Structure 1
Amino acid sequence: MKEVGKIWMNGKLVPFKNAKVHVLTHALHYSTAIFEGIRCYDTPSGSAIFRLPEHVERFFRSAKLYSMKMEFSKEQITDAIVKTVKASGLRECYIRPIAYYGYGTMGLTPTPNKVDVAIACWEWKMGESKAGKESGARCKISSWIRIDSRSQPMQAKAASNYANAALARVEALKNGYDEAIMLNHHGKIAEGSAENIFVVKDGQIFTPPLSSGCLAGITRDSVIQIIRAGGQEVTERELERDDLYSADEIFMTGTAAEVKSVAQIDDVIIGNGKIGQTTRRLQKEFMDVAMGNDQRFSHWLLYI
């Protein structure tokens, strides 16, 4: 990662190399942190942050679920994100706001500690991963079960959730795959390690409901709205492993992934093993929106 620009920490922009936390920071020991992943795109009309209000809203909702007393308002965080992107000098970047229980009192209970907030951004080119963009990704059904709301709030984008996801991702990579797909405690499809999942079958599009344990992804919501605006429906219902194996197409969505094709699940080839027509169309339509070429969704872009 290139050290570019500055990082916003508790109200101040500090040099990239000086953005440090204490080794006894509570979040480092107990995973008491929440965060967001946001994209800024280099559009023909200038740099634009994608769906910033929705990301900030989820950021604060996650904080509330972890009893975090934020010292900054939504407006201040929004302004800080814009300032951080401008200070980076990047026309296109990935943005990472994070709130975490900081250094103070050690022990399991986090609430005596101050909630620190930081915002960083770095270069993350569109379509950086060939798997899923130039060719379909190879995925493995993980042996790790997706944690659900009986264990912790799954609609919070919390660091602790991603320890579970990291185990699944590493397992998949060690077995020669590109990505993991996780089942919930009922054996239903939840999501990928860091993406929501969609199935195309007989011209219909399906995706697991939020009750499956998947995150309410903002890219997920964006793609659903794009599909519906084009006159097609998306059905949210529980999906079985069989639904994946028998699909005509499978694609995944996420801030980093955007719209990613899946060519294989375990040893089963999906469709003809190539990027399907529906997936290819949605990849283009999503990028048209992100680049400001679809006026129906121009309100999703904040030009800076």
Structure 2
Amino acid sequence: MEKAEKIWINGEVVPWDDATVHLVSNTLHYGFGVFEGIRCYKTDTGPAVFRLREHMVRLARSAEILGFSLPYTLDELVEGTREVIRANGFEQCYIRPLAYVGEGGMGLSYEDCPVSVAIAVWFWGEYVGKGTLENGSRARVSTYARHHINTNMSKAKACGNYMLFQMARTEARRDGYDEALLLDSNGHVAEGSVEHIFLVRDGALVTPPLTHLLDGITRNTVIVLARELGLEVREELFSRDHVLTSDEAFFVGTGAEVTPLVELDRRPIGSGKPGPVTKQIQEAYFTTVYGRSNRHADWLTYV
């Protein structure tokens, strides 16, 4: 990531280096907070944030799941996002809203602690790894299992949940892979460290159901676009060997966008190269987010 100049905190745009949190902070100590990941794209008619309102709705719902409310309306958060992008002069950037308890709550109780909201922006290129959008990524099955449905609030994009994903991704990177693939507690394929996974089998797309997974906005986008292309999309449970015997596979997420997965545990998937269906989905996705088609113009919020 590249450092920006300004950050939006509690309704004010402040210098990056002045955006601080006290050491005695519930969120810092216990991971109690919620966040979002959003992208702004450079279009022919100016910077545009992709599905901004849907992301802010999910942020509010994540807070509700954890038991608190955001101190700002959706309209205020949308405008705060546009304001901080303009303040930094970005044409394209990654956006990180964060709702957190900035001070107090050391006894685990947070009820009397004020909730703060920050919106940071920075430049972030290919998340999974340089060149992976074009050439594909390599993953390993993680030694860590995806949270059981009753272990954590899996529908909340909660800060504390991501310690697991951070450990899984670090393990994969240390072993020479781009990404981790996590199984659930029953051995079914769940997701990447921060991405949903799709398989291509006999021309159809197959992805795990959302039973204990975050309701991915990029996942939803890909499903909509795929069906518009005439592709069948199925939600099914499947095991790791189902991945190895697929024709193609790819990860999706705000950071990953649509990243081909060409190898799992040093074994090629399909031809071992990004396949034609994956490339078709990639093209439809980037056509949409860069505003090259008016079909989903309502998904873009111009800055």
1:277 equivalent in alignment to 2:271: no
> 2-side partners of 1:204 and 1:178: how far apart?
25
Q: How does 1:76-87 map to 2 (within 5 A)?
A: 76-87=76-87
**2:100 is matched by which residue type in structure 1?**
Y
Residue 295 of structure 1 and its aligned partner are, at CA, apart by 1.6
1:89 equivalent in alignment to 2:89: yes
Residue 118 of structure 1 and its aligned partner are, at CA, apart by 0.5
> 2-side partners of 1:115 and 1:13: how far apart?
17
Match of 1:268 in 2: 267
Distance 1:250 1:2, change over 3 A: closer
DSSP 3-state at the match of 2:143: coil
Match of 1:244 in 2: 243
1:231-256 Cα shifts (integer Å, max 9, x gaps): 22210111111110101100000001
1:16 equivalent in alignment to 2:9: no
Answer whether contact 2:262 2:273 (CA < 8 A) is retained.
Answer: yes
> 2-side partners of 1:127 and 1:105: how far apart?
34
Match of 2:119 in 1: 119
> 2-side partners of 1:199 and 1:283: how far apart?
14
Unmatched tracts of structure 2, length 5 or more: none
DSSP 3-state at the match of 1:106: coil
Distance 1:237 1:57, change over 3 A: same
Unmatched tracts of structure 1, length 5 or more: none
My pick for the range that moved more, 111-120 or 257-266, is 111-120
Match of 1:198 in 2: 198
> 2-side partners of 1:129 and 1:164: how far apart?
20
Residue 5 of structure 1 and its aligned partner are, at CA, apart by 3.0
Distance 1:242 1:2, change over 3 A: closer
Residue 102 of structure 1 and its aligned partner are, at CA, apart by 2.0
Answer whether contact 1:4 1:89 (CA < 8 A) is retained.
Answer: no
Match of 1:258 in 2: 257
**2:99 is matched by which residue type in structure 1?**
A
Residue 294 of structure 1 and its aligned partner are, at CA, apart by 1.8
Residue 77 of structure 1 and its aligned partner are, at CA, apart by 1.0
> 2-side partners of 1:138 and 1:233: how far apart?
26
**2:262 is matched by which residue type in structure 1?**
A
1:67-120 Cα shifts (integer Å, max 9, x gaps): 123211111111111111111111100000000122023122222211111011
> 2-side partners of 1:69 and 1:203: how far apart?
43
Answer whether contact 2:57 2:74 (CA < 8 A) is retained.
Answer: yes
1:171-191 Cα shifts (integer Å, max 9, x gaps): 111111110000011111110
**How many residues align structurally?**
303
**2:299 is matched by which residue type in structure 1?**
W
1:193-228 Cα shifts (integer Å, max 9, x gaps): 0100000011111000001x3221111110100001
1:222 equivalent in alignment to 2:221: yes
RMSD between aligned residues: 1.3
My pick for the range that moved more, 107-116 or 10-19, is 107-116
Residue 8 of structure 1 and its aligned partner are, at CA, apart by 0.9
Q: How does 1:286-301 map to 2 (within 5 A)?
A: 286-301=285-300
Q: TM-score, normalised by structure 2?
A: 0.97
Match of 2:29 in 1: 29
Residue 127 of structure 1 and its aligned partner are, at CA, apart by 7.5
Residue 128 of structure 1 and its aligned partner are, at CA, apart by 8.1
My pick for the range that moved more, 13-22 or 101-110, is 101-110
> 2-side partners of 1:229 and 1:283: how far apart?
14
> 2-side partners of 1:262 and 1:242: how far apart?
14
Distance 1:132 1:126, change over 3 A: closer
Q: How does 1:157-236 map to 2 (within 5 A)?
A: 157-211=157-211, 213-236=212-235
My pick for the range that moved more, 62-71 or 24-33, is 62-71
Answer whether contact 1:292 1:298 (CA < 8 A) is retained.
Answer: yes
Answer whether contact 1:101 1:111 (CA < 8 A) is retained.
Answer: no
Answer whether contact 1:92 1:125 (CA < 8 A) is retained.
Answer: no
> 2-side partners of 1:234 and 1:28: how far apart?
40
DSSP 3-state at the match of 1:274: coil
**2:19 is matched by which residue type in structure 1?**
A
Answer whether contact 1:33 1:158 (CA < 8 A) is retained.
Answer: yes
